[in-house]
Amino acid sequence: MSTRTLTDARPRLRGDLLLSAPLQRGPGTVYLVKDPRNGRAFEIAQREHFLISRLDGARSLAQIGTEYAAAFGRRLGDGHWEQLLWLLHGRQLLAGSPAEEAAPEPVRRVHRFRLVRDAAAVVDRVHGWVRFAIRGPVVLAVALACVVMLAVLGLHLPELVDGFLGLGGQPWAIVGVFLLVWVSAALHELAHGVSARHFGCTVSGISMLTLSCTVDNLLYLQSRRRQAAIAASGALVNAAYLLPFAAAWLLLPAQSAVRAPLAGFLLVGAVQALVNLIPLAPLDGYRMLSYALRVTNLSGESRRFLQLSLWRLFGRGPGVAGYPYRAKVTYVSYGLWSAAVILLVGTGLTLICYAPLADHFGTSAAVIPGLIVVLTLAGWLARPSRIQAPQTTASVRGEAKDR
């Protein structure tokens, strides 16, 4: 193929490909690309995204090359164009590529318990029932009611704790609370699926045993608000699920035999809803924060950033000079937050362990729990960051200079 023929070509990327918004990953920016025909997804760097996002069939390679040179100060050589096009053709990402037959997905089982066979159909049906409620004013009203309820329950916290502790002598009450909590957890996962369906995503799997929901294409939504809403929907439904029980508990007379077990359930349910909002992996709060910041692998990259910073203090490693300012702030903040949570939880466990052991071992009773906390924090920080380099469609690091 001659140079003139090559640069005059106007290749077009397939219209059904999914491209994500720019995501921060370490010191660089990556984009996710997914082929809906076969479900394969991969990462591309910023320069590769610049090129393939302009393969619209209207612009020639010469025009794209001019735009690329203006943006990055270098011009692609003919060999790089050929390499890029061959790789795109090999992945069947160009318009006109033959459709690849997707292998039928086997029905997944977990310990011989079948997952929901047709999750998409279930979610579609439920979405039809509750679609009227997935509107801004309705969601805001429900969220406000949940906040008021949680505040009221907080004012009655000692009574809730007493009710929870009283479950120990009531086995049937424990079974009832367990079933109610399980239903809440199942509704949590279903809420993720329904909200994802509402915003155009596809739900490929729901497990009522492992209580999980698999949402396809969530990472490819361009709206951070919608991504965060899908992640937050589970916790909101957990809290909304408590509303009738909280109202019943407040209206029951003090001498009612149901009041104490119901208080125990409300405590567990409130903790279930609030804990999911904590920004720690793998909780929903972590996903909400990742979507809001447009960051991928936030936990692993934060740990990696702290590792590089510490190694640099001892004169080892490349350091973090190559990280942009925003990434530095993000990774330092989240890394310190994670370490603080580990220390806080560890300190609480140390105090809990210290109380019953102090009578036998004195002040040394805090040594072993404290040592465990220190080792846990050190292990978290020292854990290798298994982070692979982004998989790209083609390398453009060897551009030819302007000529």
Residue-wise pLDDT tens digits, 158-209: 999 999 988 887 889 899 999 999 999 999 999 999 999 999 998 888 877 7
Give the model's pLDDT for residue 20. 93
Domain range summary for the chain, segments of one domain joined by +: 3-90, 110-277, 298-382
Give the model's pLDDT for residue 122. 87
The residue-averaged pLDDT of 247-256 equals 92
Give the model's pLDDT for residue 390. 39
* Residue 371, pLDDT above cutoff 80: no
Return the SS3 of 207: strand
* Residue 4, pLDDT above cutoff 80: no
Give the model's pLDDT for residue 118. 77
Cα-based distances in Å from 96 to 42, 59, 115, 120: 21, 17, 37, 29
pLDDT digits (tens, 9 = 90+) for 27-51: 999 999 999 888 888 899 999 999 9
27-64 burial code (b ≥16 CB/10 A, e <16): bebbbbbbbbbeeebebbbebbbbbbebbeeebebbeb
* Residue 385, pLDDT above cutoff 60: no
Give the model's pLDDT for residue 110. 42
Confidence of residue 238 (pLDDT cuts 50, 70, 90): very high
List alpha helices for 111-223, DSSP H: 119-130, 136-155, 157-165, 171-198
Give the model's pLDDT for residue 167. 84
Give the model's pLDDT for residue 400. 38
Give the model's pLDDT for residue 403. 31
CATH of 3-90, one of 3.30.70, 3.10.20, 3.90.930, 2.60.40: 3.90.930
Q: What are the DSSP E strand ranges found in 323-393?
A: none
Percent of the chain's residues with pLDDT above 90? 45
Cis peptide before 253 (omega within 30 of 0): no
Give the model's pLDDT for residue 112. 40
Give the model's pLDDT for residue 75. 86
Confidence of residue 278 (pLDDT cuts 50, 70, 90): very high
Mean of the per-residue pLDDT values of the chain: 83
Give the model's pLDDT for residue 366. 58
* Cα–Cα distance for residue pair 298/337, rounded to 1 Å: 12
Q: Which residues contact 359 (CB under 8 A, 6 or more apart)?
A: none
Give the model's pLDDT for residue 359. 62
Comparing CA positions, the residue from 397, 303, 300, 390 lying closest to residue 22 is 390
Give the range among 87-101, 120-134, 276-290 with minimum mean pLDDT: 87-101
* Residue 228, pLDDT above cutoff 70: yes
Two structure tokens written together for 388: 């692979």
The residue-averaged pLDDT of 210-225 equals 88
Give the model's pLDDT for residue 5. 74
| Adjacent-strand bridge partners of 31 | 44
Q: Which residues contact 38 (CB under 8 A, 6 or more apart)?
A: 100, 102
* Cα–Cα distance for residue pair 267/150, rounded to 1 Å: 10
Give the range among 132-136, 168-172, 359-363 with minimum mean pLDDT: 359-363
Amino acid at 298: L
Give the model's pLDDT for residue 99. 61
Comparing CA positions, the residue from 276, 293, 294 lying closest to residue 285 is 276
